[in-house]
Chain A
């Protein structure tokens, strides 16, 4: 069965004067998935999202959002997208309630008002306080909630948990997961890699305007380098391990009984070699997405 595509970017370039912000970005997001878009500040995450919504126009390349070109039919695209900006700004004289009502007037396919209020209550939105009197975190809740004013097939959330406390962050992730379970495609960027790891089906890593990696979250983690700590019952000669193609010895303690190894790829060779020795303890450390992410950036800096 062919996977439907929600977002397609082909060779997208964007310049800000002399700054080449997007350098031939290619990206495909499947319909119904939660896609985590990772990258540090200035990598091009927000620029990508803004191009997809026709807030800014790419200088070159092709974009399709749910089969529609946002440069040619921006309203049609925006009708299908719920958007939370990374740098959220709302007129201070609105209350959350009046702002949500205002946004509702601008949209079709409106979500049931009571359902929206219930969502707001789950994340603790202060409905009747003026926006200008709200803290950054509370404004973020209002911004997050406004992206749910309609029931769009695609949501673009730029740093959805920015400034929220851990409990609310968790609730926001729950809401995103529930929305995805209904079939909504979620495209979100984040700095908090643990949350991407928790909910994203696939991850894309952007660096200096180019997508350097795109994979299923689990696959990305499996593909990454593992670290193994082996405690032997007696001293062991390291030459056995030096011969293994995908093993690198990181540390050996003085009595040659405790080895720290880096294992890339298959574990089979290591396990078979270990079987020849009296192993007292073995610990495999799976890297977090954060370590994977940092690895990509360190490699890129070394290039």
Chain B
């Protein structure tokens, strides 16, 4: 099991460094903007008022105080991170098992004396650790940035909570993609549907304050439990555990389906929806 975990983690190193350093650099320089707002005395609120409320909703809503550190970080970073990192998480999830079945490389691994459970969880844990490492690198970017700016005062342990909220919402879509990969005809279909649900969830939660009719749908939107920058001012544990709980359900469902179903092979029926069959 450890060999598979190690291999998956090793294969992810480029993804970890690429996404981690890229977003850490973004965080590092973002803090400059906060300082600049005060030094140049730029009235950001006036600038923001130019935009319609519906547009501002996608960045946390017009009631978010950009002069407060948590508001600033939410608007400039955490509001759109679920989309950016979400796409990465979704494609990584569908590549984890289903893509490997489609390209045929999983057959030889599963022919070795290692259980499907071990294959599933060792690969998944490696992916989750990769995601955690990306978050850790992002945190380092912010930590280094905070060293050289004066006006923004953020407790780095509180920043961990914002990243934790981001991690939890990413986990929901990652687990959903993994689950859909087990029931939909292909990894591409699973990525497409989960990507659509991610963007739909983001839109619905963002627009619900302006349209009450969306409220019944918003109840099912995972994004409503996402805090982002707001976690700096107070971490909502309940929301965090709801997201973690949803993820756990999808992970377990994906695992059970993978345990019970046939391995897919090109040309042997993988294009059909796969329902588990009981063997005699």
Q: Identify the A interface with B (CB < 8 A).
A: 16-17, 19, 47, 50, 53, 55-62, 71, 74-76, 78-79, 81, 83, 85, 87-91, 93, 102-103, 105-108, 143, 146
Alpha-carbon separation in the docked complex, A17 to B263 (Å)? 14
Q: Are B113 and A79 in contact (CB under 8 A)?
A: yes
Q: Secondary structure of the B side of the interface?
A: loop
Q: Are A78 and B111 in contact (CB under 8 A)?
A: yes
Q: Are B279 and A59 in contact (CB under 8 A)?
A: yes
Q: Are B7 and A106 in contact (CB under 8 A)?
A: no
Alpha-carbon separation in the docked complex, A76 to B3 (Å)? 19
Q: Are B107 and A78 in contact (CB under 8 A)?
A: no
Contacts of A58 in B (CB 8 A): 279-280
Q: Are B108 and A105 in contact (CB under 8 A)?
A: no
Q: Are A89 and B107 in contact (CB under 8 A)?
A: yes
Stretch at the interface among B59-67, B137-145, B238-246, B265-273: B265-273
Contacts of A47 in B (CB 8 A): 268
**CB proximity of B6 to chain A, nearest CB, Å:** 9
From B104, which residue of chain A is reached at the shortest CB distance? A89
**Is B214's CB within 8 Å of the partner chain A?**
no
Alpha-carbon separation in the docked complex, A61 to B280 (Å)? 7
From B271, which residue of chain A is reached at the shortest CB distance? A17
Contacts of B263 in A (CB 8 A): 50, 55-56
Given A89-B103, A91-B105, residue A78 in contact with residue B279 (CB < 8 A): no
Contacts of B4 in A (CB 8 A): 106
Contacts of A16 in B (CB 8 A): 268-269
Q: Are A103 and B107 in contact (CB under 8 A)?
A: no
Q: Are B262 and A75 in contact (CB under 8 A)?
A: no
**Is B277's CB within 8 Å of the partner chain A?**
yes
**Is B219's CB within 8 Å of the partner chain A?**
no
Q: Are A108 and B113 in contact (CB under 8 A)?
A: yes
For chain B, residues 246 to 275, give those with C-beta under 8 angstroms from any C-beta of chain A.
Answer: 262-263, 265-266, 268-269, 272
**Is B157's CB within 8 Å of the partner chain A?**
no
Contacts of A79 in B (CB 8 A): 113
From B107, which residue of chain A is reached at the shortest CB distance? A85
- Choose from B3, B105, B115 the contact partner of A89 (Cβ within 8 Å): B105
From B119, which residue of chain A is reached at the shortest CB distance? A106
Contacts of B262 in A (CB 8 A): 55-57
**CB proximity of A46 to chain B, nearest CB, Å:** 8
Q: Are A75 and B269 in contact (CB under 8 A)?
A: no
Q: Are B280 and A59 in contact (CB under 8 A)?
A: yes
- Choose from A60, A83, A93, A102 the contact partner of B111 (Cβ within 8 Å): A83
Contacts of A105 in B (CB 8 A): 3
**Is B68's CB within 8 Å of the partner chain A?**
no
- Choose from B108, B112, B113, B279 the contact partner of A88 (Cβ within 8 Å): B108
**Is B110's CB within 8 Å of the partner chain A?**
yes
Which residue among B103, B265, B266 has the maximum number of chain A CB atoms within 10 Å of its CB?
B265
**Is B114's CB within 8 Å of the partner chain A?**
yes
Alpha-carbon separation in the docked complex, A38 to B240 (Å)? 58
Alpha-carbon separation in the docked complex, A81 to B269 (Å)? 26
Instruction: Please name 5 pairs of A and B residues whose Cβ atoms are closer than 8 Å in the assembled complex, sorted by A.
Output: A62-B280, A71-B279, A74-B115, A83-B108, A85-B104
Contacts of B266 in A (CB 8 A): 87
From A93, which residue of chain B is reached at the shortest CB distance? B11
Q: Are A106 and B103 in contact (CB under 8 A)?
A: no
For chain B, residues 100 to 133, give those with C-beta under 8 angstroms from any C-beta of chain A.
Answer: 103-105, 107-115
Q: Are A85 and B280 in contact (CB under 8 A)?
A: no
**CB proximity of B5 to chain A, nearest CB, Å:** 11
Q: Are A106 and B11 in contact (CB under 8 A)?
A: no
Q: Mark B1-14, 1 if CB is under 8 A from A, else 0.
A: 00110010001000
Which residue among B11, B104, B109, B112 has the maximum number of chain A CB atoms within 10 Å of its CB?
B112
- Choose from B113, B268, B280 the contact partner of A107 (Cβ within 8 Å): B113
Q: Are B111 and A87 in contact (CB under 8 A)?
A: no
Beyond the given A60-B280, A85-B107, could you list 15 further A-B residue pairs with CB under 8 A, ordered by the A residue number?
A: A19-B269, A55-B111, A57-B262, A57-B279, A61-B280, A62-B280, A75-B114, A75-B115, A83-B111, A85-B108, A87-B104, A87-B107, A89-B108, A102-B7, A105-B3
For chain B, residues 132 to 186, give those with C-beta under 8 angstroms from any C-beta of chain A.
Answer: none
From B3, which residue of chain A is reached at the shortest CB distance? A105
- Choose from A17, A93, A107 the contact partner of B112 (Cβ within 8 Å): A107
**CB proximity of A40 to chain B, nearest CB, Å:** 15
